[in-house]
Each structure stands twice: as C-alpha cells, then as structure tokens.
Amino acid sequence: MSTPLCIFDTTLRDGTQGEGISLTAEDKVKIALKLDALGVHYIEGGNPGSNSKDIEFFRRVRELKLQAKLTAFGSTRRKNSICEHDVNLKHLTESGAQAATLVGKSWDFHVHTALQTTLDENLAMIYESLAYVKNSGMEALFDAEHFFDGYKANPEYALAALKKAKDAGAAWIVLCDTNGGTLPGEISEIVSRVVKVIDAPIGIHTHNDSELAVANTLAAITAGARHIQGTINGYGERCGNANLCSILPTLQLKMGYSCVSDDQLKMLTSVARYVSEIANVHMPVNQPYVGNAAFAHKGGIHVSAIMKDSKTYEHIEPHLVGNKQRVLVSELAGQSNILSKAQEMGLDVNPESMKSRQVIDRIKELEHQGYQFEGADASLELLLRDAYGGSVQEFTVDSFKIMVEKTAGQMVTEAIVKISVAGEQVYTVAEGNGPVNALDNALRKALVQFYPGIRDVHLSDYKVRVLDEKDATAAKVRVLIESTDFKDTWSTVGVSSNVIEASWEALIDSIRYSLRVNPRIMDSAPLIRLCT
C-alpha cells in the first residue's frame, strides 16, 4: 500500500509573488475550484490582512464548501507585543479559513538583522502566535523560514524554533529553503536529523533559485517529510517555488507515494494550462509532464521507435497526467513522422509511396522558406489532408482589399473581402482595430450565413517573427495564429515578406481547419469537392 502524503498548494499566495503574476479575487476563486478538483489537501489563499483583494477572496471562497482546507497566511506577532493586539493575527483568525500558516524566523542571523530582536523574543513570538491561532479554533501550521540556512549556521537555535512550534501545537512544522540555495544531499541529511529529534509531522517548502526545488522536495520526502508545499507550474518569487506539476506525478508514478487519486492525476495537464491562462503567463512548451512538448517527437528514428512501442522514448504514458503524445513534422521529418501523423488523422497512407516522399520534400522545402509546422499543427494537418485525403474547398477567396485611414486622431481600418461559396459570390465589408482584425471580421461576416457555427471561433493569439533581420522592413516574416472555439485550440502559420499576406494565409488556414474538423460547424453546410 502506497504511503499517503499531504499536498499543500500555495499558488494563490506564494505563486502570486512571481514577477508578472497578478490575480484578481475572481481569478483566485476560479483557480481554487480547479485545485480542489485536483485533490490537493490545503489551498493557501493569501494574507487576509494585507489587501482588499485577499479579503474579498476569503469572503467569497468560504461559500464554496471546498474539500481542501482553506488556509490563510500570516506571520508571527510583532516583537515586544501581544497577540491580542496584533492586527494581522486578528484578520487571520477572522478570515473564515480552517487553517493558518504562520511564518517565523529560524535563522539567528535573520532574528538579529531582519527582526532586530533577541533570540528569546523570537522564540516567544513563535510559541505565542501559534498557540493564539490554535486556541481560536484553527489548525496551525508553522513555516520555519530560512530553516536550512539557519540549521547550517546554528543548528541548536534552528531546532529550538521547531520545538517551540511543536509545544504550541502546530499540526505541521514545515522546513523552508527560502533562498533556494541548499543542495539535495544537504536537504536529505538535515531532514533526516530533524525527524529524529522533533516528534511532530514535518513538511518541506523549497524555492528554485538553484534549479533544485523539485529535487530538494523529493529528497526531503525520502528523508521522512510527509507534507509538501508548492505551486502549479512552479510560480513564485524570484526563480519560483517547487513545481507541483513535476512533484505529484514523480512521487505517485515513480516513487510509490499516494498524493491524489489516479483520476485526479489525469487532470494535472488541464489544471496546469488553465492556471497558466488565468495568470496570463506563457507556459513553457518543454515543461515536464504537462508541457505541450513533454511527449512530442520530432526525429524520424524516434518516431519510428515509438510507433512500435511508446516506452522506447517516453518515461511514462502521457494519459496518466492528462497529456498526449505528439509527432512533430519538420525538416527533420522522416517517413515515420508522416505515417504517424496521417494515422492520427485516420488517413490511409503508404509510407513507401512516391506521394509520401513528395510530401516530406514539400514540408522540408516549406520549412526552408520559413514555415514552422511543429508550432502549427492545424496548417500541417490541412497539408496532409489535401495530399492524402482529397481536397475539400469550403470556400474560395476571389480578392481582398484593406484601407487604413486616420481621421480625427483615430486610426480606422476597413477590409473588403470577396469570396465564393457553393457557386455564390459574397462581398463583405468590415472594420477592425487593425488590418488582421478587419480581415478576420470581414471573412467571418461573409461565411457566417453558410456556416453559422463560425461565430464560436475566435483568434486567441497572434505572433509575428522576423526571419531575416538584415533585410529590415523588407524582411520575410512568419505569422503564427492561435485560434479556439472554447473547446479546442489550434495553430496555423503563414510566411511572406508582406506581413498582411502572411497573416491572411494563417487566418485562412485557421478558418479552413475549423470548418474541416468541427462537425457542429459543417453540419448541413455547402461543400465543393474538387478532387478525391
């Protein structure tokens, strides 16, 4: 039977201290619901005494009846005072949270330099504050700030701080590598000593300043810690916190520990991407387990092997964490890549045929021109479907025109699009806040009468990359467009020395792809089959 562990998520508190991350109260409520569904045991929502946003969050979230323990964050009382007069502790106990995490000093250097008080007074602050919270009816947790640095400098005092927390009734005593500079061997050795001398449940809280937060957390668990603090996607101050998206599957799938249920673990990828979207922070494609490229294969030899058995180049089955295998097609592509991609789309492909060779050569030539299909799966799929499945022409573009005018200090962009659908020519005009937006609006206006479901499709991202800077304003550019219909997301690419033409190419591919693969849009819609 696997050993159960306690998962403490601090994305909504420590994670928001990361540069560029700012969450509204509404954002925090949405993320809290996702974290609760994921099965974490504690959700640390913030400091209810620090700002109105956190106060609103605690007010709203208490009505949600979360399975996880809602946790408020604060610090020990101020020096030379009493808990009953400490405003922050008062807010903490009135927050409605079931648990409270109090951070306190365990490094004598910090006591003297940051707090500018005596070692005895700091110990009194720890004991009295935790006891005050516990006596209020809340579960009290102690985050021993800078514990590992403190232990290396003065182990007797660092342990004395933990003992005071234990005596005050702390449910968990959490050892913090606050500066993120401790190595896994040190973590393992120190945690092993702590669990022998402190008769209380021990936790671990690490930061990633040495790129070791995940490794240090795993080392602490192996040494006897049973409580893990971390954030989704590793968000946090400076270089971030321990990444729960890497820790959870490693502990559960590789080390035999129980963190969440198997079904909840399958939600991990969707939760990671959801939090990334809400936080408006780009998620690295190569993030382990949950990244878009975590199970992506590009080299022909690799693809040939995984088609025989995915274990050849995958350390776990992607579906266990809710991710999926992807085969990339690029200038490195071989027949195995084309065959795998075509099979994924249900196309009947002979990998030895001349057509397959021609498709590979065509892809390599387009990549040489600047196209990048590994980041534009939808454009690639259209290319393969046209090559192997017969071309379906949902509409044809006869012409388009763009006019930009500045009047009364405002820029006005107007696009005129002329298309043909099922033998009928349609002429539309639309305005937008730029050329691409105007073209998008005009194209949709023309198509919506034939494909009403196109209303659900919208552009979610637009990127322009200059391919050869030395040509300055005449340089060729690559445009990547990401689109969504609120259920699926897809990317398309266009390349030209004219940014409008490149954008139009990617936009047309996006619309074609949505019509080609979405049965809701295509039901009862007119099609012109050009070839089979």
Closest C-alpha among 376, 113, 167, 4 to residue 159: 167
Q: What is the pLDDT of residue 339?
A: 66
% of the chain at pLDDT higher than 70: 88
Give pLDDT, residue 530: 35
Going 507 to 532 to 516 to 284, the CA torsion angle's sign is negative
pLDDT tier, 314 (very low <50, low <70, confident <90, very high otherwise) = confident
- With 0-12 / 13-18 / 19 or more C-beta atoms within 10 angstroms meaning exposed / middle / buried, residue 309 is exposed
CB 126 within 8 A of CB 104: yes
Is the per-residue pLDDT at 30 higher than 50?
yes
Residue 276 has pLDDT above 70, yes or no: yes
Domains, the chain, in order of start with CATH, read 3-279 (3.20.20.70), 296-391 (no CATH), 395-450 (3.30.160.740)
Query: Residue 196 pLDDT more than 60?
Result: yes
**Calpha distance 186→148 (Å, rounded):** 8
Residue 369: how many CB atoms within 10 A of its CB? 12
Average pLDDT score over the chain: 87
pLDDT at 529 over 70: no
The rounded distance, in Å, linking the Cα atoms of 308 and 301 is 11
Contact 8, 38 (CB under 8 A): no
Strands (E), 220-321: 227-230, 257-258, 296-297
Structure token pair of residue 51: 């700002």
Q: How far apart are CA 188 and CA 178, in angstroms?
A: 16
- Residue 467 vs residue 315, higher pLDDT: 315
Distance CA 515, CA 454 (A): 8
Give the integer Cα–Cα distance in Å for 479 and 493: 6
* The 424-432 sheet, strands edge to edge: 396-407, 410-421, 424-432
Query: Is the pLDDT at 100 greater than 90, yes or no?
Result: yes
**Residue 19 identity (one-letter amino acid):** E
Residue 510 has pLDDT above 80, yes or no: yes
Q: Which two tokens stand for residue 278?
A: 């809400």
Quick check: 40 and 260 in contact, CB under 8 A? yes
Q: Which of 138-147, 257-266, 302-311 has the lowest mean pLDDT?
A: 302-311
Angle (CA) 446 448 449, round 5°: 85
Question: Whole-prediction pTM value?
Answer: 0.71
Residues recorded for the chain: 532
Going by pLDDT thresholds of 50, 70 and 90, the confidence category of residue 292 is confident
The four Cα atoms 238, 239, 240, 241 give a dihedral, to 10 degrees, of -110
C-alpha triplet 84, 86, 91: angle, nearest 5°: 95
Q: With CA atoms as reference, report the closest residue to 38 among 249, 215, 206.
A: 249
Mean pLDDT of 287-300: 81
Where does residue 231 rank: exposed (0-12), middle (13-18), buried (19+ CB within 10 A)? buried
**pLDDT at position 297:** 73
Q: Give the model's confidence band at 527: pLDDT under 50 very low, under 70 low, under 90 confident, else very high.
A: very low
Residue 230 is encoded by which pair of tokens? Answer: 């971390």
**207: DSSP letter:** B
Q: How confident is the model at residue 1 (pLDDT cuts 50, 70, 90)?
A: very low
Instruction: Report d(CA 278, CA 511) in Å as an integer.
Output: 26
Task: Decide: 9 and 275 in contact? Cβ < 8 Å.
Answer: no
- Of 242-251, 322-331, 457-466, 503-512, the one with minimum mean pLDDT is 322-331
List of residues 6+ apart from 75 with CB closer than 8 A: 88, 102, 103, 104, 129
Tokens representing residue 18 in the block: 């990361």
Confidence at residue 329, expressed as pLDDT on a 0 to 100 scale: 58
How sure is the predictor about 486, in pLDDT bands with cuts at 50, 70 and 90?
Answer: low
- What tokens does 510 get? 């996006």
Q: Please check whether residue 115 is in contact with residue 145, taking contact to mean a CB–CB distance below 8 angstroms.
A: no
Condensed to tens digits (0 to 9), the pLDDT of residues 158-183 reads 999 999 999 999 999 999 999 999 99
Question: What is the phi/psi pair of residue 209, to 5°?
Answer: -65, -20
192-to-186, 195, 196, 198 alpha-carbon distances in Å: 10, 6, 7, 10
DSSP element (H, E) containing 414: strand 410-421
